[in-house]
Amino acid sequence: MPTVDEVKTVLSQVIDPELNNNIVDLGMVKDIHIEAGDVTITLALTVKGCPLKNYLKEQTQAALFAIPDVENVTVNLTSMTPVERQALKDRLSPAIQINHIGRLVGVMSGKGGVGKSSATALLAVALRRQGYEVGILDADVTGPSIPRLFGISGPVRSVPLGMLPVETHTGIKVISTNLMLKEEDTALIWRGPVMSGTVKQFWKDVLWGRLDYLLVDLPPGTSDITLTTLESFPLSGVILITTPQGLSSMIVRKTVHMSQGLEVPILGVVENMSYFIAPDTGARYEIFGPSHTLAVAEAASAPILGHLPIDPHLAALADAGQIEQYEHSACTELAQAFAAALPPIEPAPAAPWVR
Ligand SMILES: Nc1ncnc2c1ncn2[C@@H]1O[C@H](COP(=O)(O)OP(=O)(O)OP(=O)(O)O)[C@@H](O)[C@H]1O
Ligand SMILES: [Mg+2]
């Protein structure tokens, strides 16, 4: 006769694909009755109309029939009570149990418009091409541009335990306020604390699943959101995006001081718009003059991870929502330098909301 432990062991291999966790750990398995070769269990779905109910029932039946000596299987479906659901949500929320995030990395710049979102997207694309699971948390709540670069739109789907990110064509998971709005061009007029709260929610209420790298595209400068993220997210570190210009470098130094003050490691500096290669002659031009990036990297005690050229083809693809089609050796090299500076680690359960 099968034992309760045997039943639990096989059922712990039945995964709820939406929550990325097994039905035993999710507390869905109730009332296990065994009589000779007859096994009866009750499966408590998170909500009554759960779209996965047939799938979960079939998987459960198949798992139970795989136990030797099991002859009959009955799976009764019920749903969790609001109290149980809330308890599960609380237990799982800060996405602690569900999300396994390898490395969480902020992308910062002092000044706006230096190509931070473009660089974040290009890095994500290049890491994805190298086989990593990648996500982008668009923390630029009032100026979100990540969905547009990838040509993706919402709405974000919510399941009882959180929000599901939208996937790009190559499978990069994205969350952004732009994916929540009915009209993409609706202006969000929010005060600082509301914006910071939204970014916190993106961290703790989004079901990211298993990711090697989660990149956080921060708004420019040293705003509330950036401060909140640096203070509260369990970041592995930040990368700084700059352009060769002196002013940009001066402002990025402020960002360096902010990160250092909050003891968040600066993993490296990326210089965007470094040079331009004339398509007709192949000549190389340093449009913004000689670079100040080395000085920035020295101030940050961090390596330069890459130089991205000014490329009208990139701008055109970005405008068309096709940034995933952009290919340039500079992006591949950037991703390699990044992964070398911050090697992938086995994704662990997301750390709790620390402060
Ligand atoms: N290397 C590049 N070559 C050509 N165009 C670029 C490059 N980098 C960025 N751009 C263009 O510059 C503009 C600003 O880029 P992006 O939105 O990435 O900057 P940002 O720093 O994220 O801006 P913000 O501060 O508003 O968040 C975009 O139109 C983008 O397509
Ligand atoms: Mg941006």
Supply 117's token pair: 């979102």
Given a cut of 70, is residue 61 above it in pLDDT? Answer: yes
* pLDDT tens per residue, range 108-147: 988 888 999 999 999 999 999 999 999 999 999 888 899 9
Nearest to 272 by CA among 311, 327, 318, 221: 311
Q: What is the DSSP string of 97-114?
A: TT-EEEEEEEEE-SSTTS
Which ligand number lies closest to the CA of residue 112? 1
Q: Residue 355: what pLDDT? A: 28
Q: Contact 122/230 with Cβ under 8 angstroms? A: no
Q: Residue 74: what pLDDT? A: 95
Q: What are the structural domain ranges in the chain?
A: 4-92, 100-349
Phi, psi of 285 (to 5 degrees): -120, 135
Q: Residue 240: what pLDDT? A: 93
- Smallest CA separation from ligand 1 atom 15, residue: 115
- Arch. (CATH architecture) of 4-92: 2-Layer Sandwich (3.30)
> What confidence category does residue 350 fall into, taking pLDDT thresholds of 50, 70 and 90?
low
Q: Which residues are bridge partners to 284 per DSSP?
A: 277
Say which amino acid occupies 58.
Answer: E
pTM of the model: 0.75
Given a cut of 50, is residue 352 above it in pLDDT? Answer: no
CA of 18 to the centre of ligand 2 (A): 30
Mean pLDDT (the chain, rounded): 88
- Smallest CA separation from ligand 1 atom 9, residue: 115
Q: Residue 91: what pLDDT? A: 65
| Residues within a 6 A CB radius of ligand 1 | 109, 112-118, 140, 143, 145, 220, 272-273, 308, 310-311, 314-315, 318
Given a cut of 80, is residue 99 above it in pLDDT? Answer: yes
Same fold, 4-92 and 100-349: no
The whole-angstrom separation of Cα 193 and Cα 3 is 53
- Smallest CA separation from ligand 1 atom 31, residue: 315
Report the nearest atom of ligand 1 relative to the CA of 318: 31
Given a cut of 60, is residue 337 above it in pLDDT? Answer: yes
- Smallest CA separation from ligand 1 atom 30, residue: 315
Q: What is the DSSP string of 26-85?
A: TT-EEEEEEETTEEEEEEEESSTT-TTHHHHHHHHHHHHHTSTT--EEEEEEEE--HHHH
Indicate the SS3 state at residue 3.
coil
> What confidence category does residue 183 fall into, taking pLDDT thresholds of 50, 70 and 90?
low
CA of 350 to the centre of ligand 2 (A): 25
Give the residue-averaged pLDDT of 149-155: 93
Give the residue-averaged pLDDT of 12-17: 90
The whole-angstrom separation of Cα 145 and Cα 150 is 9
Q: Contact 275/283 with Cβ under 8 angstroms? A: no
Report the nearest atom of ligand 1 relative to the CA of 241: 21
* pLDDT tens per residue, range 85-95: 777 776 666 55
State which fold the 100-349 domain adopts.
Answer: Rossmann fold (3.40.50)
Q: Residue 353: what pLDDT? A: 40
> What confidence category does residue 205 fall into, taking pLDDT thresholds of 50, 70 and 90?
confident
* Distance set, CA 35 to CA 30, 65, 136 (Å): 16, 14, 50
> What confidence category does residue 301 fall into, taking pLDDT thresholds of 50, 70 and 90?
very high
Give the residue-averaged pLDDT of 191-204: 78
> What confidence category does residue 155 fall into, taking pLDDT thresholds of 50, 70 and 90?
confident
Q: Where are the alpha helices (DSSP H) in 93-204?
A: 116-129, 146-150, 192-204
- Smallest CA separation from ligand 1 atom 6, residue: 315
